[in-house]
């Protein structure tokens, strides 16, 4: 069942708590929330949901929270988070979610900046942190804690349990039965209801202000473009201080009638995820990469028959997916086989990892390896890329169902306009754009210009209208001809190859892009052994002809997925691994590009001078500080012809 | 909902009168052949008290516990629990009277899940007949649900949700100790006896355990006897400490008195030559 579009479009004029009120009338006893406690899934119906929100709202009112006041929430994923947030918003207050992992000092800074009057905290741990900085947060009149475990020893009148808050609310309701509705309907859709911390890479995070309208618009976009029905499951796992679960919890779920499910605790997530079997899930690329490798490891441990069937199934699935993505016809026999394997391999496998009911699986954030996407798509999981920002109230780019291209983040959701500025920055215009940064006019002015949001990311739109994000704007380099390219974007993709361990790309103020490649000694070594290619050291292996051919074919394949100006023209296989001991990598494993460039300037120049080969004498520093030299010849490999 | 929990119903719903526990040991003597394990030991545990028994290796601490719980039968002396003489009763009879314990060497069923191990303790409270259980009738189901809830509340209280369905044999040592405490709690004991629950635990596991024990004792008035070697733990949670040495009680009193007691220092550090 889907809620009718006409009905939904009427909801545009209300605030989020008002919409909850309407939905409680429409959906009544249907399940709204589920939380696993004491080993079973306890449910909250839409009517009960509204009641909790009402009592929290009135409870806050009797603590002195009025329209325009601020309430901070330090909570994990659990129903009380939604009750607190919507309860406060129903009374006209503005909420902010903080990370439960923050240290006391961070909490006090954010609470003061936000000007919270009441803080609702998860448990003893959070309360202890607040007590520690109590002198610094003088404006906070009450701290409410949700989990009473261990709290019986605290006798401070500054603290109040969530249960007591609800009791306060119930008390006020019997005294003034109309108060809640009176306050509720005073709300306007243009009011700010929520602030979000933005990931500040420098200094304190900024607070992005969002209004009711933003969430309603974002929710409608999703409902229009994804197959969401009443009663579909969402599992709440990303922290409420991030936009993803906010967008769902107080946006999509409320408008569409989806069920929000809350796992028992972080450690039981995998099991709870499987029990719920969510319909839609949005997570980081890391989640999918981990899941894929977990599946591979488990399959390797399983019996011979299971393993064989899995291998056949995967082979067939990959063939079909490859043909489909190239928009070629799939032969009947392959389609038939895929249909059979669907029931004997794909579905049981997806069931095991809790992904059987997924209609749309979305990954965001960091680029994900195309192999992982291909893997999941070939076992029948609709995995796709998305792109979004807190300032845009969540996701605004998703790959459409029928045209998934691994390297892009897809097309805009409805009512969203994407533009590329002259310096390659991605600009977005949409009704869900945020209002501005709290108490920071200057940053607001910079971020919002002529109604467009400046994302700070660089990208371009390909021939099919798909957006490709290439990285942060400040990391972009330019060729002599002015074409932008992102070394990080290219290197990340090169490193997806199992044979490439490290890559460094050059090309700033040059005619074309070139790169150093460090082979993966383990993988290339076993590849060589399987082909009876003898080798001695890393240096020797890296300069073997067949290895060069192998790496060239990998680079050519990756080149095909890159836009024209970003394609590598020449590469060379470095005779040694980049090493933090030689200061070529940071201790965390990141390439120090400038240092590498200066150190190997002869090699770089040789690639641009059109030489085929260069003799090098390199220095290698051993662990004991002793410096050795390597003398070898390095061949420069042409990846593709250079256009004049 | 989480907000309404953190209060196991075995405690929050229990009437204080039913949880009354007073233990009195009079002149207890236990010997194995010529070896005197306990000699004329007398002690008293008041209702709601947290008593610790300490002493060097071989002092007779575990023997004393085994006498109380019916594993050993003393040659002389009496053990009175709530006024009833329980000297010489079998372990299962002692358990029925409301004394639950954990063991120094962990006595769980390694091939069963955590849930099943704790469930087992509820056997004491099962009222249905064998015949009814064979047909799994409605009343049986209802009772099982009731017990499952109690077990789950204990799992929640001891924060064991992630290991609920794991086999005990696959768990690390510290967690097994926690499971054993869970099983003892599921007995709804009036008197809880813990035999070295902190041995072999990491610092973090110890902190958790102290938290649990403090909570059940101070908040729910659980009468507890603890035998332990870790002095830091004993000094921080005990109300009263009894020191045994070579089967005899050499000192008794609150932690600060025991810390400076000359006899205790002598027993632990030896005498200067």
Tell me how far CA of residue A432 lies from CA of A245, A428, A453, B157, in angstroms: 16, 10, 11, 43
B3 touches chain A (CB under 8 A): yes
A206 touches chain B (CB under 8 A): no
Alpha carbon distance A293, A281 (integer Å): 19
Partners of residue A283 on adjacent β-strands: A363
Distance, C-alpha A151 to centroid of its chain: 35
Contacts of A84 in chain B (CB under 8 A): none
Contacts of A37 in chain B (CB under 8 A): 1-2, 5, 156
Q: How far is A435 from chain B (nearest CA, A)?
A: 34
Q: Is the pLDDT of residue B162 over 50?
A: yes
Which domains does chain B show, CATH number per domain?
Answer: 2-112+172-269 (3.40.50.300)
Which phi and psi (to 5°) does residue A66 adopt?
A: -125, 170
Secondary structure (DSSP) of A110-169 = HHHHHT-SEEEE-SHHHHHHHHHTTTT-TT--EEEES--TTGGG---TTEEEHHHHHHHH
Q: Is the pLDDT of residue A406 over 80?
A: no
- Closest to A166 measured CA to CA, from A276, A24, A63, A311: A63
DSSP three-state, residue A468? strand
Q: Beta-carbon neighbour count of residue B20 at 10 Å?
A: 15
Cα A120-A283-A563 angle, rounded to 5 deg: 135
A158 found inside a domain: yes
Q: Which candidate from B1, B161, B219 shows the least CB-CB separation from A264? A: B161
For chain A, give the percent of residues with pLDDT over 90. Answer: 50
Give the residue carrying structure tokens 């809880």.
B192
Q: Which candidate from A37, A161, A268 shows the least CB-CB separation from B1? A: A37
B215 touches chain A (CB under 8 A): yes
Q: Beta-carbon neighbour count of residue A512 at 10 Å?
A: 23
Q: Is A163 within 8 Å of B4 when comparing Cβ atoms?
A: yes
Alpha carbon distance A69, A64 (integer Å): 9
- Closest to A80 measured CA to CA, from A160, A146, A164, A169: A146
Q: DSSP class of residue A585?
A: B
B161 touches chain A (CB under 8 A): yes
Tell me how far CA of residue A583 lies from CA of A508, A595, A596, in angstroms: 22, 8, 9
A396 found inside a domain: no
For residue A185, count CB atoms less than 10 angstroms from its CB and return exposed for 0-12, middle for 13-18, buried for 19 or more: middle
The pLDDT of residue B4: 45
DSSP three-state, residue A619? strand
A298 found inside a domain: no
Contacts of B156 in chain A (CB under 8 A): 37-38
Q: Is the pLDDT of residue B273 over 60?
A: no
Alpha carbon distance A75, A84 (integer Å): 10
Contacts of B211 in chain A (CB under 8 A): 150
List the structure tokens of A46: 């839409």
- Closest to A179 measured CA to CA, from A190, A189, A168, A188: A168
For chain B, give the percent of residues with pLDDT over 90. Answer: 65
A272 touches chain B (CB under 8 A): no
List the structure tokens of B35: 């070896």
Which residue, of A183, A203, A222, is where some domain finishes?
A222
Q: Is B215 within 8 Å of A152 when comparing Cβ atoms?
A: yes
Which residue, of A168, A191, A222, is where some domain finishes?
A222
Alpha carbon distance B106, B117 (integer Å): 12
- Per-residue pLDDT of A580-630, as tens digits, reads 878 888 777 778 888 899 989 988 999 998 888 888 887 777 767 778 787
Q: How far is A52 from chain B (nearest CA, A)?
A: 12
- Per-residue pLDDT of A53-105, as tens digits, reads 999 999 999 999 999 999 999 999 999 999 999 999 999 999 999 999 889 99
Strand A452-461 with A425-429, pairing: antiparallel
**Cα nearest neighbour of B219 on chain A:** A152
Which phi and psi (to 5°) does residue A398 adopt?
A: -140, 150
Partners of residue B224 on adjacent β-strands: B50, B192
Highest mean pLDDT among A363-377, A575-589, B233-247: B233-247
Contacts of A268 in chain B (CB under 8 A): 161-162
Strand A40-45 with A436-437, pairing: unpaired
CB of A173 closer than 8 Å to CB of A410:
no
CB of A478 closer than 8 Å to CB of A465:
no
Q: Which candidate from B1, B152, B211 shows the least CB-CB separation from A150? A: B211
Contacts of A73 in chain B (CB under 8 A): none
Chain A to chain B Cβ contacts (< 8 Å): 57
Q: Which candidate from A38, A153, A265 shows the least CB-CB separation from B162? A: A265
Q: How far is B113 from chain A (nearest CA, A)?
A: 14
Contacts of B161 in chain A (CB under 8 A): 39, 264-265, 267-268
Contacts of B2 in chain A (CB under 8 A): 35, 37, 78, 80, 146-147
Q: How far is B211 from chain A (nearest CA, A)?
A: 8
Partners of residue A280 on adjacent β-strands: A360
Contacts of A33 in chain B (CB under 8 A): none
A163 found inside a domain: yes
**Cα nearest neighbour of A154 on chain B:** B219
The pLDDT of residue A51: 96
- Per-residue pLDDT of A543-560, as tens digits, reads 899 999 999 999 998 888
The 3-class secondary structure across A25-93, one letter per residue, is: HHHCCCEEEEEEECCEEEEEEHHHHHHHHHHHHHHHHHCCCCCCCEEEEECCCCHHHHHHHHHHHHCCC
Q: Is A147 within 8 Å of B2 when comparing Cβ atoms?
A: yes
B6 touches chain A (CB under 8 A): yes
Q: Is B219 within 8 Å of A152 when comparing Cβ atoms?
A: yes
Q: Which candidate from B152, B211, B215 shows the least CB-CB separation from A38? A: B152
Which residue, of A198, A222, A246, is where some domain finishes?
A222
- Per-residue pLDDT of A450-507, as tens digits, reads 889 998 888 888 888 888 888 778 888 888 888 888 888 888 888 888 899 889 999 9
CB of A639 closer than 8 Å to CB of A569:
yes
Q: In what order do the strands lie in the sheet with B23-32?
A: B35-45, B23-32, B76-81, B84-85
- Here the contacts of A195-199 (C-beta below 8 Å, separation 24 or greater) are A195/A94, A195/A95, A195/A96, A195/A114, A195/A438, A196/A96, A196/A97, A196/A241, A196/A243, A196/A246, A196/A390, A197/A96, A197/A97, A197/A98, A197/A110, A197/A241, A198/A390, A198/A391, A198/A437, A199/A390
Contacts of B219 in chain A (CB under 8 A): 152
* pLDDT class of B6 with cuts at 50, 70, 90: low
Contacts of A147 in chain B (CB under 8 A): 2-3, 6
What is the widest separation between alpha-carbon atoms in chain A?
Answer: 90
**Cα nearest neighbour of A42 on chain B:** B1
- Per-residue pLDDT of B85-96, as tens digits, reads 999 899 999 999
Element (H, E) at A9: helix A5-10
B1 touches chain A (CB under 8 A): yes
Number of domains in chain A: 2
Q: Is A38 within 8 Å of B7 when comparing Cβ atoms?
A: no
Element (H, E) at A233: strand A233-235
Query: What's the full length of chain B, in residues?
Result: 273
CB of A510 closer than 8 Å to CB of A503:
no
- Per-residue pLDDT of B217-243, as tens digits, reads 988 889 999 999 888 899 999 999 999
The pLDDT of residue A200: 56
**B33 vs A90, more confident:** A90
Complex ipTM: 0.83
Q: Which of residues 126-155 of A touch B (CB under 8 A)?
A: 146-153
> Which residue, among A33, A35, A36, A37, would best test binding to B if mutated, counting the most B CBs under 10 Å from its CB?
A37
Q: Is the pLDDT of residue A644 over 60?
A: no
Alpha carbon distance A35, A43 (integer Å): 7
A270 touches chain B (CB under 8 A): no
Q: Which candidate from A40, A146, A265 shows the least CB-CB separation from B3? A: A146
A9 found inside a domain: yes
Give the residue carrying structure tokens 């590329």.
A420
Q: Which candidate from A40, A42, A148 shows the least CB-CB separation from B6? A: A148
Q: Is A147 within 8 Å of B3 when comparing Cβ atoms?
A: yes
Alpha carbon distance A69, A88 (integer Å): 9
CB of A233 closer than 8 Å to CB of A357:
yes
The pLDDT of residue A120: 97
Q: Which domain holds residue A74?
A: 5-222
CATH of the domain at A553: 3.30.300.30
A213 found inside a domain: yes
Contacts of A87 in chain B (CB under 8 A): none
- Per-residue pLDDT of B114-149, as tens digits, reads 999 999 999 888 888 888 888 888 999 999 999 999
Q: Which residues contact A112 (CB under 8 A, 6 or more apart)?
A: A136, A137, A139
Give the residue carrying structure tokens 């400040």.
A474
CATH of the domain at A213: 3.40.50.12780
A560 touches chain B (CB under 8 A): no
Contacts of B162 in chain A (CB under 8 A): 265, 267-268
Query: Checking phi first, is residue B40 left (phi over 0); if not, alpha (psi -120 to 50) or beta?
Result: left
* pLDDT class of A11 with cuts at 50, 70, 90: very high
Q: Is B7 within 8 Å of A42 when comparing Cβ atoms?
A: no
A35 touches chain B (CB under 8 A): yes
**Cα nearest neighbour of A39 on chain B:** B152
List the structure tokens of B21: 């526990």
CB of B176 closer than 8 Å to CB of B108:
yes
Q: Is the pLDDT of residue A183 over 70?
A: yes
The pLDDT of residue A643: 63
A245 touches chain B (CB under 8 A): no
Q: Is B211 within 8 Å of A78 when comparing Cβ atoms?
A: no
List the structure tokens of A18: 């008002």
A363 found inside a domain: no
Tell me how far CA of residue B4 lies from CA of A161, A396, A406, A596, B119, in angstroms: 10, 38, 46, 59, 23
- Closest to A15 measured CA to CA, from A229, A178, A185: A185
For chain A, give the percent of residues with pLDDT over 70. Answer: 98
Question: pTM (2 decimals)?
Answer: 0.84
A446 found inside a domain: no
Contacts of A59 in chain B (CB under 8 A): none
Q: Which candidate from A40, A80, A265 shows the least CB-CB separation from B3? A: A80
Q: How far is B166 from chain A (nearest CA, A)?
A: 12
């Amino acid at each position: 069942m889907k809620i009718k579009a006409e009905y939904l479009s009427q909801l545009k004029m209300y605030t989020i708590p008002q919409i909850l009120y309407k939905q409680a009338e429409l959906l009544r006893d249907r399940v709204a929330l589920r939380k696993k406690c004491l080993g079973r899934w306890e449910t909250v119906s839409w009517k009960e949901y509204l009641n909790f929100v009402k009592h929290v709202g009135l409870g806050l009112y009797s603590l002195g929270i009025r329209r325009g006041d601020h309430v901070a929430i330090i909570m994990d994923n659990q129903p009380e988070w939604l009750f607190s947030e919507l309860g406060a918003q129903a009374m006209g207050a503005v909420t902010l979610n903080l990370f439960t992992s923050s240290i006391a000092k961070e909490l006090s800074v954010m609470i003061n900046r936000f000007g919270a009057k009441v803080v609702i905290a998860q448990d003893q741990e959070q309360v202890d942190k607040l007590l520690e900085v109590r002198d610094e947060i003088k404006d906070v009149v009450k701290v409410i804690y949700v989990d009473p475990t261990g709290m019986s020893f605290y006798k401070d009148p500054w603290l109040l349990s969530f249960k007591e808050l609800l009791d306060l609310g119930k008390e006020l309701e019997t005294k003034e039965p109309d108060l809640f509705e009176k306050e509720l309907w005073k709300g306007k859709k243009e009011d700010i209801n929520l602030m979000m911390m933005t990931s500040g890479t420098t200094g304190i995070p900024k607070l992005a202000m969002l209004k009711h309208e933003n969430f309603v618009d974002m929710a409608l976009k999703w409902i229009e473009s994804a197959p969401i029905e009443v009663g579909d499951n969402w599992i709440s796992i990303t922290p409420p201080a991030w936009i993803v679960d906010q967008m769902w919890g107080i946006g999509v779920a409320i408008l569409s009638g989806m069920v929000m499910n809350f796992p028992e605790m972080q450690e039981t997530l995998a099991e709870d995820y499987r029990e719920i079997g969510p319909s839609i899930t949005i997570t980081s690329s890391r989640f999918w990469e981990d899941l894929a490798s977990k599946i591979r490891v488990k399959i390797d441990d399983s019996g011979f028959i299971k393993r064989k069937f899995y291998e056949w199934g995967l082979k067939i699935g990959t063939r079909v997916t490859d043909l489909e993505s190239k928009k070629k016809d799939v032969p009947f026999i392959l389609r038939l086989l895929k249909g059979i394997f669907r029931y004997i391999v794909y579905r049981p496998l997806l069931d095991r990892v809790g992904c059987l009911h997924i209609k749309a699986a979305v990954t965001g954030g960091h680029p994900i390896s195309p192999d992982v996407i291909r893997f999941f798509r070939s076992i029948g999981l609709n995995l796709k890329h998305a792109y979004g920002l807190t300032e845009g109230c969540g996701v605004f780019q998703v790959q459409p169902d029928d045209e998934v291209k691994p390297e892009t983040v897809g097309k805009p959701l409805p009512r969203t306009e994407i533009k590329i500025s002259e310096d390659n920055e991605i600009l977005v215009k949409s009704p869900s754009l945020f209002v501005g940064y709290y108490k920071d006019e200057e940053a607001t002015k910079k971020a919002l210009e002529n109604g467009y949001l400046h994302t700070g990311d660089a990208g371009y739109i390909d021939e099919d209208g798909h957006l490709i994000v290439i990285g942060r704007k400040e990391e972009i380099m330019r060729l002599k001809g002015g074409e932008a390219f992102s070394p990080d974007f290219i290197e990340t993709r090169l490193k997806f190859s199992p044979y490439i361990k490290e890559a460094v790309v050059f090309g700033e103020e040059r005619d074309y892009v070139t790169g150093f490649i460090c082979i993966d000694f383990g993988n290339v070594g076993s590849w060589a052994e399987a082909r009876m290619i003898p080798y001695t050291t890393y240096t020797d292996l890296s300069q073997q002809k067949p290895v060069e051919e192998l790496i060239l074919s990998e680079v050519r394949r990756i080149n095909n997925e890159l836009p024209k100006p970003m394609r590598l023209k020449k590469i060379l296989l470095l005779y040694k691994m980049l090493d933090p001991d030689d200061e070529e990598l940071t201790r965390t494993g990141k390439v120090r590009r400038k240092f590498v460039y200066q150190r190997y300037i002869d090699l770089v120049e040789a690639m641009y001078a059109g030489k085929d080969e260069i003799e090098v004498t390199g220095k290698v520093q051993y662990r004991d500080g002793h410096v050795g030299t390597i003398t070898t010849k390095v061949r420069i490999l042409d990846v593709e012809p250079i256009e004049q | 909902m989480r907000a309404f929990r953190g209060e196991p119903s075995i405690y929050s719903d229990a009437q204080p009168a039913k949880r009354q526990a007073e233990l009195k040991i009079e002149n207890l003597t236990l010997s194995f052949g010529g070896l005197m394990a306990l000699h004329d030991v007398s002690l008293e545990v008041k209702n709601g008290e947290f008593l610790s028994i300490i002493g060097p290796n071989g002092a007779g601490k575990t023997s004393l516990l085994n006498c109380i719980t019916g594993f050993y039968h003393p040659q002389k002396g009496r053990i009175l629990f709530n006024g009833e003489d329980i000297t010489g009763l079998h372990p299962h009879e002692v358990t029925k009277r409301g004394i639950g314990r954990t063991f120094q060497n962990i006595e769980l069923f390694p091939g069963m899940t955590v849930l099943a191990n704790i469930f087992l303790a509820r056997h004491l409270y099962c009222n249905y007949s064998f015949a009814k259980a064979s047909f799994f009738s409605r009343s049986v189901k209802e009772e099982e649900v009731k017990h499952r809830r109690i077990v789950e509340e204990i799992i929640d209280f001891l924060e064991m949700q992630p290991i609920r369905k794991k086999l005990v044999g696959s768990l690390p040592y510290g967690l097994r100790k926690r499971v054993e405490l869970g099983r003892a709690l599921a007995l709804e004991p009036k008197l809880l006896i813990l035999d070295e629950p902190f041995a072999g635990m990491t610092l973090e596991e110890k902190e958790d355990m102290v938290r649990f024990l403090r909570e059940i004792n101070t908040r729910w008035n659980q009468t507890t006897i603890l035998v332990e070697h870790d002095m830091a733990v004993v000094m921080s949670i005990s109300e009263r400490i009894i020191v045994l040495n070579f089967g005899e009680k050499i000192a008794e009193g609150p932690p600060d008195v025991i810390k400076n007691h000359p006899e205790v220092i002598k027993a632990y550090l030896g005498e200067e030559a």
